[in-house]
Amino acid sequence: MILLSTLFQNLNLKDSISTDHSTTLFLAFLVISAVTCYAWLYFIKPKAQRLPPGPLGLPFVGNLLSLDPLLFSYFARLAQTYGPIFKLRLGNKLAIVLTSPAMAREVLKDHDTVFANRDMPATARVFTYGGSDIAWASYGPEWRMLRKVCVVKMLSNTTLDSVYYLRRKEVRNTMSYLYSRAGRPVNVGEQLFLTALNVMTSMMWGGTVEGAERDSLGAEFRVLVSEMTQRFGRPNVSDFFPCLARFDLQGVEKQMRALVTRFDGLFEKMIGQRMKMEGEEGTRKVSNDFLQFLLNLKEEDGDSNIPLTITHVKGLLMDMVVGGTETTANTIEFAMAEMMNKPEVMKRVQEELEDVVGKDNMVEESHIHKLPYLQAVMKETLRLHPPLPLLVPHHSNETTTVGGYTIPKGTQVFVNVWAIHRDPSIWEKPLEFDPGRFFDAKWDYSGNNFNYIPFGSGRRICAGIAMADRTVLYFLAMLVHLFNWTLSQEKKLNIVEKGIVLNMKTPLVAIPTPRLSNPNFYE
């Protein structure tokens, strides 16, 4: 009573009552608006549009709080309840998840152009120079130009043949290192990452830097790629609530811009040194690597409607060093782990190599097409452990129908390749590692058989398939031809996956033992 008396003595009673009444009305308005929006989003609008089924979400945040870090397995569990196509509310965004070949076909083939765009995260916009690359560029003339540069020209068989000596040199260097560690445990995952990065950067600008400068550059790239992968994998409020993107509440974009600035400095350095070399040599053919190829192409296509710019060159280099390194290393690590869990598979690969290559010869890329069992091992590895288990998210550019349901314009689309590849209605004993299932010639990476799409399908299928195929198979063949492998302690590995870019939760640690008698093969 004393408190009330004091308040009434210091405030005008009439004004106070009026203010309280206004506040109550305002709060009531907010509550009613929130309930109305919630009812509209989750009950009225879905019924009117016939959206796919899905779990009920919370107001404003939708299903964000219920997401599991391992999205691919979480989505697979949801599909058991809601079917092969279901919806999620991710903040302000509507997302659908596809977990069957039939649904994947509708999106990636039947409605290919409708879903040809990407749902670009804020961090991707930063590290791709605003989408000036092939992975995240909007579908249109610019993307078609970049696709042509990559698939028809830069990553053609002719170009890949011309940089084989660079891949070979880096893989041989790793074999020499493993030989020096014979009989001792080696962090295979770490060595695979370092080698994949060295292979990639060597193909990018192998003729530009040498010696200590090259080692220093490689070390800096290793740090930057690791940091960028970590940043990109973190959930970002800006992606779920685009209206808040300008505030960068978590500072993720600021951190990414700082990394890109460092990347950009390295790219500028390499491009500058290459241009200087050209001036000294008086010819544009001073080196045979991707950077030189792109710079030549930039000059040749200068008069085209959509010319290749220095920004495009940087974007493509970023795609290769960030997108190609980790996926290559992870695939080889999974293959090694699976073979070590099934020694009979490892033995059969080694026997095939002995028959084709011989124990008195080194493996070359020219041998790969004669090694069908090794190729089957890679295909089975990609079935169980696709590099991008949900592919790169697609984005609908107009309202359409998939599986009988309305998919509104602007919907984010995930294709759960991980779930499709483990579907027991498609694959016999789907969780078992069995390369024999891929002896049938119908299995390839073209994306035409939607039971098996490790690299995606349609217009946005991975542009680096040819390079990945060569690099992974050659590296894997060298590892098992030159060495026997044993586990340091465990009798069998527990292969646990993690990440939006699939990798082993616990890195593979194993002991190499030389198989071939000629020490020159390990130099």
Using CA of residue 10, residue 13, residue 14, residue 18, what is the dihedral sign?
A: positive
Beta bridge partners of residue 273, listed in sequence order: none
Using CA of residue 195, residue 124, residue 151, residue 313, what is the dihedral sign?
A: negative
How many other CB atoms are there within 10 angstroms of residue 333's CB atom?
24
Is the CB of residue 87 less than 8 Å from the CB of residue 53? yes
- Interior CA angle at 404 toward 402 and 409, to 5°? 45
**What CA dihedral angle connects 102, 106, 110 and 112, to 10 degrees?**
-130
* Residue 179: HSE in the Cβ half-sphere, 13 Å Cα cutoff: 19
Report which of 257, 503, 262, 522 is spatially closest to residue 388, judged by C-alpha positions: 503
Rounded distance between C-alpha atoms, residue 405 and residue 120, angstroms = 24
Rounded distance between C-alpha atoms, residue 93 and residue 75, angstroms = 17
Report which of 236, 230, 229, 233 is spatially closest to residue 252, judged by C-alpha positions: 236
Is the CB of residue 298 less than 8 Å from the CB of residue 307? yes
Neighbouring residues of 152: CB distance < 8 A, sequence distance ≥ 6: none
Neighbouring residues of 102: CB distance < 8 A, sequence distance ≥ 6: 84, 403, 450
Q: Is position 462 annotated in a ligand binding site? A: yes
DSSP readout, 485-505? EEESS-SS----EETTTTEES
Tokens, residue 486: 């044993």
Return the amino acid letter for 424. Answer: P
Return the amino acid letter for 123. Answer: T
CA 508 distance to own-chain centroid: 20
Tokens, residue 441: 């010639």
Q: Name the maximum alpha-carbon separation found in the chain.
A: 103
Reduce the DSSP state of residue 318 to 3 states and report it: helix
Report which of 383, 374, 373, 376 is spatially closest to residue 453, judged by C-alpha positions: 383
Report which of 271, 322, 315, 319 is spatially closest to residue 296, judged by C-alpha positions: 271
Rounded distance between C-alpha atoms, residue 252 and residue 65, angstroms = 19
End-to-end CA separation in angstroms for the chain = 92
Q: Binding site membership: which residues? A: 462
Q: Binding site membership for heme: which residues? A: 462
